[in-house]
Structure 1
Amino acid sequence: MVQGILILLTFVVIAALMMAKKMPTLLALPLMAVIIGIIARVPLIATNDNGVATGLLNGIFEAGTVRMSSAIIAVIFGAWLGQLMNRTGVTETIIKKSAELGGGRPLVVTLIMAVATALLFTTLSGLGSIIMVGSIVLPILISVGIPAASAACIFLMSFTTGLALNVANWQIFSKLFSLDIAVIQRFELYLAAATAVATIIFIVVEFARNGIRFGFSAPAAPAANTSSETRALKGVTGALAMLTPIIPIVLVALVKLPVTVAFTIGIAWCLIFTARGFGRAMNTLTKTCYDGITDAGPAIILMVGIGILYLSVTHAQVKAVLDPILLAVVPSSRWAYILFFILLAPLALYRGPMNMFGLGSGIAALITGLGTMNPLAVMAAFLSAERIQAGADPTNTQNVWTANFCEVDVNTCTKKILPYLWGVSAVGVLLGSVLYF
């Protein structure tokens, strides 16, 4: 019991340090894993009868660094495709063409910008892509009369919608929950639909609240980080190039191709329809590969920490210590499940215990390991809470950049969109209780 209390205190203290921004998540997760292993008295170096490493250093830390390897590769290839779209003008062309469709009607322009942003972030990832898309979309939204704070929130809600269909994220969650990617995909489709509805409701409410009726859309501003490689995409090849974001989704969801293969085909597709000669195409391919790896760097380091923490909390000796405590807390009935996870969903903020890119990865593994709840129900609860983290967490780099660009406080964005994303989370939990509990 003493060991269990010490492990829980470790969670609380390190979570507090992360929330107070005294310790970065990339350091906090592996540190927590090591401390938990020490408290549970996991030997430093050990192997079981089958020769599998089970020690703190070889079975948790060393093995944990590659636990998320397939997800890491998916993130790298996804970031590579995103950089290629940015550099070849696909991203910019999609946004500008979308703005032109709206004409001078603010509501139509806003809805089209929301759809375009969501579509792009089914493939794009990283702060570089946020800056690229946001520096075009946000001025357009503001130019039709939308207040800066509302524009920032519309952008973040749209981003969050697209993120539910991001193939690289499907691979990450598949690895974290040890579930087939098709299972993750099916539930994420529901969450994407719920987030899209919440985004539309938010836009309509903000228009009514601010009395926006008329206005004119301004020409799209030049995109940040564009280069001489960028050109206007026109004709049939331009139209085909603009299909790039949906290529990986179709290949994974319908053709059932592996994620990395789907991204590779997406990269080839984009390059074929935007190339201006073999030499330039090869230079662009190489440059965007390097930029993609740089862009994916923070996520890669974070996933290394998540892998180490996952193996720590699922270690037999750690489970033996924590299982009695968790059995007393984790809900065992459908209504308890609904109330528990809906009320606790905001704990996904500030890298809290429901945050899949923070403590949540370890907590989810612990709950699944109890064997008292369907693993699919655990997945549904934590992916539902992820909706709040993705769009409303003020510690996200996308939230900080967006708020700074619009010259509003990042916490203002959190306050405005939290009720909507909490509603999406509640819908996800209710759905999970019906489908999986």
Structure 2
Amino acid sequence: MITRKIPTLLALPLLAVIICIIAGVPFIGQDVEGNQVGFLHTVVESGSVRMASAYIAVIFGAWLGQIMNKTGVTENIIKISAELGGDKPLIVTLVMVAAVALLFTTLSGLGSVIMVGTIVLPILISVGLPAISAACIFLMAFAIGLCFNMANWQTYSSIFELSIANIRSFEIYLLVATAVATLVLIFVEFKKNGIKFAFSAPVTEEKKNNQSLKGVRGVLAMVTPVIPIVLVAFLEIPIVPAFIAGILWILLFTSKSFSKAMNLLTQTCYNGITDAGPAVILMVGIGMLYLAVTNPMVKEVLNPFMVAVTPKSAVVYVIFFIALAPLALYRGPLNLFGLGSGLAALMAGVGSLTPLAVMAGFLAAERIQGVGDPTNTQNVWTANFAEVDVNTITKKLLPYLWVVAAIGVVLGAVNYF
């Protein structure tokens, strides 16, 4: 994957099959009770639906995101945020960060990144930020939103086999830490580049929005990103119904007729599935890899190694996860969207760490992967749009993300040991 010889969507299922072959798991076979034990059934077939609840949540989230884009809700939130900042570059930047973070609690997929980025990045650059600074700030704002992204919560819940409430309680810490790191990044970039904190030239006028949302209906439509969060976080509604509620909410306040609402619903459904496609295929591979490393024959081979390397005290836990957090890059052993999904299950199975401690360590490392990995589609697109090197973004963000990961690991040790 690092040399770009094999794409991730192929590398993960291939790795799952190779692990089974090395451990001696048969292609096809049955035990004495007639249960299937071959990896074609237990890993390839079962693994393809192992993350079904997660990728269905991704699809519904992408569907809602497409409706927000098509109805102009996304664009209006960003434009109004820019107007609130007036001619003060710092205020404009802070409001843009807040708007992007709010949007990506709901939005997902490269299409949404492109939609938001093509509006936000020119605004940040127009207030005086260099392109590399604007790109990094945009991605950090995206990372803040990911902490409260409903589809991500469902993915982590499936991987760790923990409740959404457990995931949410720890993600709150990571959200605060990421937000503080983003503020530090903004002030550092402003000071380093000599940007005035106020009274800059006004933001350049954008062309008039053809999908302007006005009145009470417009305001209520722009509340859409908050609807799923409130339903899941405070009312404990399941994630897919929460997304459906968000879809119905936005249709209610943006549609001019029933027929137009149905046409929009159909079109955005297809586009949402397309947008979610890469994540869905990736999760199919993650499911296969998860079941491969948790296969009894594979666990028998790997357990002695896992017993030796899994931390057994809070101090070792902190050192282990902080030092190795960059291994979340390139779908590595601490990457939940790569090899880490299986490794996390093995660590929890050893018994030295509680499932909550394993969750905290891996979610902390995820902060580095989220917007630090140069193989992320959002990183590649942002770098290309801003005309900067994608590896330069990683180098600039890594110190901030590593500190956030370290804070997460320490909080994990405090809470779960």
Alignment partner of 1:88 out of 71, 74, 77: 71
Distance in 1 between the 2:29 and 2:12 partners? 22
CA change 1:50–1:109 in 2 (3 A) is farther
Q: Which amino acid aligns with 1:423?
A: V
Distance in 2 between the 1:194 and 1:113 partners? 18
Residue 325 of structure 1 and its aligned partner are, at CA, apart by 1.2
Question: After the TM superposition, which residues 283-298 of structure 1 pair with which residues of structure 2 at under 5 Å, given as runs?
Answer: 283-298=263-278
Q: Are 2:336 and 1:336 equivalent residues in the alignment?
A: no
Deviates more, 1:79-88 or 1:35-44: 35-44
Distance in 2 between the 1:222 and 1:360 partners? 45
RMSD of Structure 2 on Structure 1 (CA): 1.4
Q: Which amino acid aligns with 1:370?
A: V
Asked if the contact 1:19/1:351 (under 8 Å) is kept, the reply is: no
Question: After the TM superposition, which residues 150-161 of structure 1 pair with which residues of structure 2 at under 5 Å, given as runs?
Answer: 150-161=133-144
Q: Deviations 1:134-155 (Å, cap 9, x if unpaired)? A: 0000000000001110000000
CA change 1:84–1:39 in 2 (3 A) is same
Aligned pairs, number: 415
Question: After the TM superposition, which residues 201-350 of structure 1 pair with which residues of structure 2 at under 5 Å, given as runs?
Answer: 201-213=184-196, 214-219=199-204, 221=206, 231-350=211-330
Q: Are 2:11 and 1:28 equivalent residues in the alignment?
A: yes
Q: Deviations 1:103-156 (Å, cap 9, x if unpaired)? A: 000000000000000000000011110110000000000000011100000000
SS at 1:345 equivalent: helix
Residue 42 of structure 1 and its aligned partner are, at CA, apart by 1.2
Q: Deviations 1:50-78 (Å, cap 9, x if unpaired)? A: 66533211111100000001111100000
Distance in 2 between the 1:73 and 1:52 partners? 28
Q: Which amino acid aligns with 1:64?
A: G
Residue 326 of structure 1 and its aligned partner are, at CA, apart by 1.4
Q: Which amino acid aligns with 1:44?
A: F
Distance in 2 between the 1:221 and 1:135 partners? 12
In the alignment, which residue of structure 2 is the partner of 1:194?
Answer: 177
Q: Deviations 1:143-172 (Å, cap 9, x if unpaired)? A: 000111000000000000001100000000
Distance in 2 between the 1:335 and 1:91 partners? 44
Residue 40 of structure 1 and its aligned partner are, at CA, apart by 1.2
CA change 1:48–1:250 in 2 (3 A) is farther
- Any stretches of 5+ residues in structure 1 without a counterpart? 1-17
In the alignment, which residue of structure 1 is the partner of 2:23?
Answer: 40
Residue 276 of structure 1 and its aligned partner are, at CA, apart by 1.6
Distance in 2 between the 1:217 and 1:356 partners? 42
Query: Structure 2 length as normaliser, TM-score?
Result: 0.97
Q: Are 2:47 and 1:64 equivalent residues in the alignment?
A: yes
Residue 45 of structure 1 and its aligned partner are, at CA, apart by 2.3
In the alignment, which residue of structure 2 is the partner of 1:14?
Answer: none
Deviates more, 1:324-333 or 1:38-47: 38-47
Distance in 2 between the 1:240 and 1:77 partners? 20
Q: Are 2:339 and 1:359 equivalent residues in the alignment?
A: yes
Q: Which amino acid aligns with 2:147?
A: A
Residue 198 of structure 1 and its aligned partner are, at CA, apart by 0.6
Residue 221 of structure 1 and its aligned partner are, at CA, apart by 4.3
Q: Deviations 1:363-413 (Å, cap 9, x if unpaired)? A: 111111212211111100000010110111111110111111111111111
Distance in 1 between the 2:300 and 2:87 partners? 63
Distance in 1 between the 2:312 and 2:407 partners? 20
Distance in 1 between the 2:206 and 2:392 partners? 25
CA change 1:222–1:420 in 2 (3 A) is farther
Q: Are 2:390 and 1:407 equivalent residues in the alignment?
A: no
Asked if the contact 2:86/2:203 (under 8 Å) is kept, the reply is: no
In the alignment, which residue of structure 1 is the partner of 2:416?
Answer: 436
Asked if the contact 2:328/2:366 (under 8 Å) is kept, the reply is: yes
Percent identity over paired residues: 65
Q: Deviations 1:341-371 (Å, cap 9, x if unpaired)? A: 0010011112211111111111111111212
Query: Structure 1 length as normaliser, TM-score?
Result: 0.93
Distance in 2 between the 1:248 and 1:52 partners? 41
Asked if the contact 2:68/2:250 (under 8 Å) is kept, the reply is: yes
Q: Which amino acid aligns with 1:244?
A: T
Asked if the contact 2:126/2:204 (under 8 Å) is kept, the reply is: no
